[in-house]
Amino acid sequence: MPGAHLKRIKDCWSINVPQLAFCYKPLLHAVFAISALHLSKADANDSGLPDMHYIYLEQALREHRLCIGGITTQTADAVCFTSILLQVNVFATLKDRPAAPYKQVNEWMHLVRRSVAVFDAALEIMRHNAHSANIWCLIDTVPLPLRTNFDAGSFSFLLPTVPDDEDDETALEAYRGAVAHINSTWLAMEAKEHPQISCRRLMVFPLFVATGFIDLLEKRRPRALVVLAHFLALSAPLRDVCGNT
């Protein structure tokens, strides 16, 4: 779980979140889904666990969509944790996706971007609530990793050296932003950043790329697919953190 290398955050995920889940069904099903996914990685011989993960994940997604239209002071905290768990669920299954097409990756990117509006709405409600929400513990202790380097660095080969007919300036800017995030993440990993934080950098990738980059992926532009492949390759050294939940 994001930030679980810190005791305060680990306690939040292992104690507070399960308590919230009993009062908010989408969160409960998201917890069941991530638990089934973890168990399926730990015991590959149990053939029923992947199906169980899929069933609970679908239930959580469906119920969450219905509930986010009416967030209240009673549900706002659970809504935030549900959004995070759904993102972790989907990201952790990317390595099991078919090699082509990249539909599942695109769906994950859209899920992450849509979650921003959900978080903003829920946090706004909680700011006016006298009761201290559990999500602030996560936000205050593990802030979103910022991009500290805006250069392509060692990944400059992914960018065109001369203009071409296929990509306009908007597309080139989208590529530059995506490659800069890849390079920034790689530099952080090389600097021995904690794997949990590096994994979070990967999970928020869709927030640091332009919408145009996602559009290029959906159009299956060769350069966009190559950039995405290099991004996904960054998760290989972190498979024990990102891939096995």
pLDDT in tens, 101-121: 667 788 889 889 989 899 899
167 CB neighbour count, 10 Å cutoff: 17
At 142, the pLDDT band (50, 70, 90 cuts) reads low
Rounded percentage of the chain residues whose pLDDT exceeds 70: 87
Decide which of 64 and 243 is more confident.
Answer: 64
Decide which of 1 and 203 is more confident.
Answer: 203
> Once rounded to an integer, what is the mean pLDDT over residues 196-224?
89
Q: State the DSSP code for 209.
A: S
Residue 141 in this model has a pLDDT that exceeds 90: no
Each residue's pLDDT tens digit, 156-165: 999 987 767 7
pTM: 0.83
Stretch (H or E) spanning 113:
helix 103-127
At 245, the pLDDT band (50, 70, 90 cuts) reads very low
How far apart are alpha carbons 54 and 33 in whole angstroms? Answer: 7
